């Protein structure tokens, strides 16, 4: 009696999915949307691994007939449905920020799903030969290439461009796409479908690790990069140091916390952060570095660009209220701007901008005109 076939590579993939599931339900950093995302992708991958074992069973025990060949081709095509289904979950994760790029990606993903279904009857990208082996059609390379391009677009457009696009995040996304591409190459050049699902599980794990790092570097109150991201990008980043630093300090946080509660205080922080980021995004990156303290780092070098930043800061300081889209709160803060001197360290620049900000704050408290 022949033994039931076991694909140990698929069992390893299943173990990775279980590990991620355990982590998402025990990691307080992830929000409910992220938990649903990884739960749904994990379920999709599990179903695919089950189908892969079903395929192996019929391959091992089935007779070499036309009906068996058609059955194996159907199962293979259903396995590959996991890719457009996963892409759909990734696109829906940012449905609150939908734009033209997302619409184009959704249309391409719908086409990919339709081609997978058509492949059950018409060999679009793969078929099963008379010996029950999966073979690629001449169009397979375009199918695989288009799938990798679509994955790369979704990850860069919906994750790198939405969250803090720092060096660490770019490296993680690069290797995620690279491993997916290696799986596609294994399937195209060697007919190794199992390699696709191995790579898919590794991509699943890498995407989880990337998103966790993103959340660890994102302030959950304001939605902007936090102190962790600031320390990593400003104090430890040696490739490109900020030339201009702006230090901010809000004037009313204690009032809102004491009079209306910390929930209102958090709303005030978010309203300021989102308003300031909207007005200053073209000049640099804004971070929340403390309770009511923020910093803007900038690479501006020309005197004209720095003057425009100063004008934007003055315009922001003259606003009586935060942007109405973010809340009805006063736009009252002190700030200090410092340009890096020749040979000046990042620590010294930070301390100098902070000192200028506190000088400004004291002058405001004494009723003097802001400098």
Please, which pLDDT band fits residue 4 given cuts at 50, 70 and 90?
Answer: low
Residue 20 pLDDT exceeds 60: yes
Please indicate whether residue 22 or residue 239 has the higher confidence score (pLDDT). Answer: 22
List the alpha helices (DSSP H) in the chain: 8-26, 32-61, 66-80, 82-93, 100-118, 140-155, 167-190, 193-216, 227-230, 253-260, 262-280, 303-317, 346-365
Reported as a single tens digit per residue, the pLDDT across 84-109 is 999 999 999 888 788 899 999 999 99
Region class of 327: left (phi > 0), else alpha (psi between -120 and 50), else beta: left
Q: Quote the pLDDT of residue 1.
A: 46
Q: Quote the pLDDT of residue 143.
A: 93
Query: Around 266, how many Cα atoms within 13 Å sit in the side-chain half-sphere?
Result: 8
Average pLDDT of span 288-314: 93
Residue 367 pLDDT exceeds 70: no
Q: Quote the pLDDT of residue 165.
A: 65
CA distance 269 to 222: 6
Q: Which residue in this structure is represented by tokens 């990691």?
A: 27
Q: Quote the pLDDT of residue 206.
A: 92
Q: Are residues 303 and 361 in the same domain?
A: yes
Q: Are residues 75 and 141 in the same domain?
A: yes
Two tokens at 98?
């939908």
Residues 6 or more apart whose CB falls under 8 angstroms from that of 271 comprise 322, 323, 326, 327, 329
Q: Are residues 231 and 212 in the same domain?
A: no
Give how many domains the chain has, as a whole number.
2
CB 285 within 8 A of CB 346: no
Please, which pLDDT band fits residue 192 given cuts at 50, 70 and 90?
Answer: confident
DSSP assignment letter at 239? S
Q: Quote the pLDDT of residue 164.
A: 61
Residue 240 pLDDT exceeds 60: no
CATH label of the domain that carries residue 121: 1.20.1070
Q: Quote the pLDDT of residue 82.
A: 95
Q: Quote the pLDDT of residue 262.
A: 85
β-strand partners of 295:
247, 287
Residue 19 pLDDT exceeds 60: yes
Element (H, E) at 222: none
CA distance 212 to 216: 6
Residue 203 pLDDT exceeds 90: yes
Residues 6 or more apart whose CB falls under 8 angstroms from that of 110 comprise 84
* Collapsed DSSP state (helix, strand, coil) of residue 169: helix
Q: Are residues 201 and 238 in the same domain?
A: no
Average pLDDT of span 324-352: 91
- Residue where one domain finishes, among candidates 197, 216, 235: 216
- Residue where one domain finishes, among candidates 190, 216, 242: 216
Packing angle of the helix pair 82-93, 32-61 (nearest 10 deg): 180
**Measured CA distances, 271 to 230, 275, 316, 343 (Å):** 20, 6, 13, 36
Is 222 within a domain? no
**pLDDT cut 70: percent of the chain above it:** 95
Give the domain extent around 87: 8-216
* Collapsed DSSP state (helix, strand, coil) of residue 350: helix
Reported as a single tens digit per residue, the pLDDT across 49-82 is 999 999 999 888 878 888 988 999 999 999 999 9
CATH label of the domain that carries residue 237: 3.30.70.270
Q: Are residues 70 and 198 in the same domain?
A: yes
Is 287 within a domain? yes
Name the least confident of 86-90, 207-211, 335-339.
207-211
Is 371 within a domain? no
Q: Mean pLDDT, the chain, as a whole number?
A: 89
Average pLDDT of span 139-162: 88
CA distance 360 to 8: 65
Is 3 within a domain? no
Please, which pLDDT band fits residue 214 given cuts at 50, 70 and 90?
Answer: confident
């Amino acid at each position: 009696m022949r033994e039931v076939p076991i694909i140990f590579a698929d069992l390893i993939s299943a173990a990775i999915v279980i590990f991620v599931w355990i982590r998402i339900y025990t990691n307080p950093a992830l929000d409910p949307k992220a938990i649903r995302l990884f739960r749904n992708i994990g379920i999709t991958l599990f179903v695919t691994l089950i189908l892969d074992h079903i395929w192996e069973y019929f391959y091992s025990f089935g007779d070499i007939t036309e009906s068996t060949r058609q059955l194996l081709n159907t199962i293979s095509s259903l396995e590959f449905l996991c890719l457009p289904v996963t892409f759909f979950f990734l696109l829906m994760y940012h449905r609150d920020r939908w734009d033209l790029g997302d619409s184009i990606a959704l249309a391409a993903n719908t086409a990919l799903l339709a081609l997978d279904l058509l492949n059950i009857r018409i060999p679009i990208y793969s078929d099963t030969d008379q010996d029950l082996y999966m073979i690629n059609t001449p169009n397979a390379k375009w199918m695989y290439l288009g799938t990798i391009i679509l994955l790369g677009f979704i990850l860069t457009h919906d994750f790198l461009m939405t969250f803090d696009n720092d060096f660490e995040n770019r490296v993680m996304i690069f290797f995620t796409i690279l491993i997916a591409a290696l799986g596609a190459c294994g399937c195209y050049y060697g007919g190794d479908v199992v390699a696709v699902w191995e790579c898919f599980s590794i991509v699943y794990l890498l995407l989880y690790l990337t998103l966790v790092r993103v959340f660890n570097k994102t302030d959950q109150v304001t939605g902007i990069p936090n102190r962790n991201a600031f320390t990593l990008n400003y104090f430890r980043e040696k490739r490109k140091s900020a030339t201009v630093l702006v230090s901010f300090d809000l004037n009313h946080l204690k009032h809102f916390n004491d009079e209306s509660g910390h929930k209102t205080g958090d709303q005030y922080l978010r309203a300021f952060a989102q308003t300031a980021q909207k007005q200053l995004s073209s000049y640099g990156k804004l971070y929340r570095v403390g309770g009511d303290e923020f910093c803007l780092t900038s690479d501006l070098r020309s005197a004209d660009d720095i003057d425009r930043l100063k004008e934007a800061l003055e315009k922001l300081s003259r606003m009586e209220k935060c942007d109405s889209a973010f809340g009805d709160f006063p736009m009252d803060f002190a700030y200090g701007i410092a340009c890096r001197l020749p040979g000046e360290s990042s620590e010294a620049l930070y301390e100098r901008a902070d000192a200028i900000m506190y000088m400004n704050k004291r002058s405001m408290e004494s009723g003097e005109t802001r400098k």
